[in-house]
Structure 1
Amino acid sequence: MDTIIRHRWFGRMGRAAALVLGLVAAAGAARAEGTAVAPDASACEIHRALGRELPPECKTRGLDMPFDAADAPATREAVFTIEFALNSARLTAQGRAVLDKVAEVMKYPGNAGAKFVLKGFTDASGSARGNLALSKARAEAARLYLVETGGVPAAMIMAEGLGETGLLPGLPPNSPRHRRVEILADYRG
């Protein structure tokens, strides 16, 4: 499993420049722009990618800008590439470890009022209809884990399946790296 974070800023950004951290699979599947994050991303790295506000333990002396809600992005997207076995929606131990960190970010008080959308994807093996159902099951497996084990309120999280519609560029259609869950954080209220 590779944990890779893609971070997009949408909506009003004030004076801040748009910062795009692309998701790059360790096997070399590159997005248009991007920075690969280690498979064992820290909670602070996940906060930076998905959260609205950094907790004190993630702030570095002199390097973090003061938080200004008016300039904060309306949505952020982080991609956690949690590989699933072929035709499976069962989370791996590594996937659960990543989702434990994601749950802490979702529950952080600075992210209150956010809604999170979990988007499940598959590779191109199998039928389009079957892949759509499987991708929904993958997103739902991550959602249930976040709610039941991570303690995230269910009302904060939606799950949707997108099947094979989000194949990563530069990889064969049946690559296991396509089997993943992406998370969109919406702070628009």
Structure 2
Amino acid sequence: MRIIAGDFRGLNLASVGKGDAGAHLRPTTDRVRESLFSMLAGGRFGDPVSDAVVLDLFAGTGALGLEALSRGAQYATFVDDGRVAQSLIRENVKKCRAEARVKIISRNATRLPANTDAPASLVFLDPPYGKGLGEKALTSALEGGWVAPGALIVWEDSAAITPPIGVTLLDQRRYGDTVISLCETGEADD
């Protein structure tokens, strides 16, 4: 696993091998990450990465949030309650020398506390596949003030998703057993 483009381009991230099923670690492959960020940069969604405040739920290795930082996001919050994941995120943040632009929260992503920082304009949501945890985590993030109005949500799963009320599905793409759904939160005056 490596950073595909930007300031950290080519940097190899900490390896989890083929993943860690016990810790529910299933890193997004370089190919899927590259396709995803190409889609985001394609213009249809404006430029959701530059200067973004990123929320990476079920962060795993932190690869999605770090790729966004590499491509110009200003800040990223990583949420994962797994010890292995937290260790990998810390190692990868250190490799990128991005400590000043990162916050790591050791918490179940489905039970977030109230947010006291700027809400995210770009959300990565990569829950364990097929368990319905993405819906719960996104609802928790919305209720806790973690997600800004008009934010773009990149939701990775293997099954059909059901966006919470106030979230609109914009596009879906399949990459093998991975389905990337792009969603958007309603504007403040909706």
Give me the TM-score of the superposition, normalised by structure 1. Answer: 0.32
Instruction: Select the structure of larger CA radius of gyration.
Output: 1
Higher relative contact order (CA 8 A, sep 6+): 1
Give me the TM-score of the superposition, normalised by structure 2. Answer: 0.32
